[in-house]
Amino acid sequence: MRMPLLAFCLLLCTCVCAQIPVTPEFAVLLDSMDVRINHPLDADFQLRPNVKNYYHQDQLTVYSKREKLEIRYHLTPESETDAYYQMPHMRAATLVMNLSSNEEDAVTTVHSFGEEEMAIFNADWARMYTFQPKRNYSDRGHAQLIAIYKKGSGMAFVVLLFREAPATIEGRQLALRFR
C-alpha cells in the first residue's frame, strides 16, 4: 500500500515541477480560448520577459537552459471584425513573412500535419513553418512557428527558437492544443 502511494506522490511532484510556467494573464487567455499547454514531464523551462519588437508581441516567453530552446507563445481570439477572420492560412503566412529573414539566401519551408498530429491539436487547421528569423526578433539562427486554428476559438502560435535543434524538438512542436 505504501509503495503505490509513494509512487503516485513522486509522479505528482514530478508533473507539478515540470510544468511550463505561465503568467496569470496568459492563463486567463488560455482558458478563454479553450487552449491547453501540453506540459512536458522533463522540462526545466523558466519564464523570461517578452522581447519587444516591431513584428509580433509575444504573450509568454519561456527558456530551457538544458535544451537551449526558447519558446514564445501568442494567442489570438477569433473576432468577426478581424481582417483575417476565418483565414488562418493568411494570418500565419503574413506572420511568418514578418518574422523571417529578408536575406537573399533565407529559405522558409511549410509542413502540413497528418491526422495523428491534427487529433492531438484538436484543430481545424495547422501548419509548421521553419525559417531563419530576423535578427531583431531573435539572435538564434533557426525558428519554427507552429500555427493552429479552431473555428470559433481563434489562432494559437508557438515559436521555437534555437541554434541547434534539441532532441526534444518534435515534442515541443505539439506544445499547444485546443480542448
For every one of its 179 residues, what pLDDT tens digit does the chain have, with 9 covering 90 and above? 444 443 444 344 434 445 788 889 999 999 999 999 987 777 788 889 888 877 788 899 999 999 999 999 999 999 999 999 999 999 999 999 999 999 999 999 999 999 999 999 999 999 999 999 998 889 899 999 999 999 999 999 999 999 999 988 898 998 999 99
**What pLDDT does residue 40 have?**
73
**What pLDDT does residue 62 have?**
92
Residue with cell 482558458: 31
Q: Which three cell numbers stand for residue 164?
A: 541547434
Alpha carbon distance 149, 137 (integer Å): 23
Collapsing DSSP to helix, strand or coil, 70 comes out as strand
* CA distances to 11, 120, 146 from 129, in Å: 35, 18, 7
Per the document, the length of the chain is: 179
Q: Which three cell numbers stand for residue 43?
A: 522540462
Collapsing DSSP to helix, strand or coil, 91 comes out as helix
In 18-87, alpha helices (H): 24-32
CA angle 104, 109, 113 (to 5 degrees): 170
How distant is the alpha carbon of residue 120 from its chain centre?
A: 14
**What pLDDT does residue 16 have?**
44
**What pLDDT does residue 115 have?**
92
Q: Which three cell numbers stand for residue 1?
A: 500500500
**What pLDDT does residue 18 have?**
53
Q: Note the pTM of the prediction, 2 decimals.
A: 0.85
Instruction: Give the chain's largest Cα–Cα span.
Output: 65
